[in-house]
Amino acid sequence: MRRQLALGLCLVLSFTIFAAQANVVESMEYVRVSPTQPVPPGSKILVQEVFWYGCPHCFHLQPVLNRWLAHKPRDVLFERQAAAISPYWLPEARAFFAFKELGLIPTLHDKFFDAIHIKHEVLNDAATISAWVARHSHVSAARFAAVYHSFAVSLAVRKARQQQTEEDINSVPTFVVDGRYRTNPSLAGGRRQMMRVVDYLVRKAERRKGR
């Protein structure tokens, strides 16, 4: 029941893939974030992916996203952020921020997706996730559980939830570019189309910076 309710919050994509448009249209392929969110200082364009490990659309996006990352513009600063806007997403959100705290994202991020969606493992609380981490890394279950419940992870989850609320994010996967523009597969017309919209928004952000 928990997973069914959570999946109901995860974006249901259409099977129809719309033809790519020559011009990306505001309020159709993307919307403005209001208020604009702060971004790190400097010349980099921040691109954030908001995802949930339990979301099948987020899982199927990963190969598309990984190809995009391999060829992304050099001035793009990419950041993943676990969705924390639903209580059903919080166990996996805490897992992500614990991975990040322990430096485990490079080795466990894709494996955690695979465990849930390919191996159909039930990983939705501190005990099951900690045991899984112990099997797939050098970090013990006790050590991971301590970080999972730590103040640092709780603060990261709280900040993510606040930011996602301010950005009006209510489905995943969602991308936010430069703290100003938001898009998702439903707006863009599909996963691949979404990454084209992200490219457009990066160029838009670059022009805003006078490049």
- Record the pTM: 0.88
The DSSP secondary-structure symbol of 83 reads -
31: CB partners within 8 A, 6+ apart: 181, 182, 183, 187
What is the end-to-end Cα distance of the chain in Å, rounded?
Answer: 50
Q: What is the pLDDT of residue 117?
A: 98
CATH topology of domain 2-11+25-208: Glutaredoxin (3.40.30)
Domain residue ranges of the chain, discontinuous segments joined by +? 2-11+25-208
Task: Give the pLDDT score at 167.
Answer: 95
11 in Cβ contact with 171 (< 8 Å): yes
Ranges of beta strands (E only) in the chain are 31-32, 45-51, 76-82, 174-177, 181-183
Q: Give me the tens of pLDDT residue by residue for the chain, a chain 211 residues long.
A: 556 555 555 644 333 333 344 579 999 999 999 999 999 998 899 999 999 999 999 999 999 999 999 999 999 999 999 999 999 999 999 999 999 999 999 999 999 999 999 999 999 999 999 999 999 999 999 999 999 999 999 999 999 999 999 999 999 999 999 999 999 999 999 998 999 999 999 999 999 887 6
> What's the full length of the chain, in residues?
211
Q: Looking at residue 3, what is its pLDDT?
A: 60
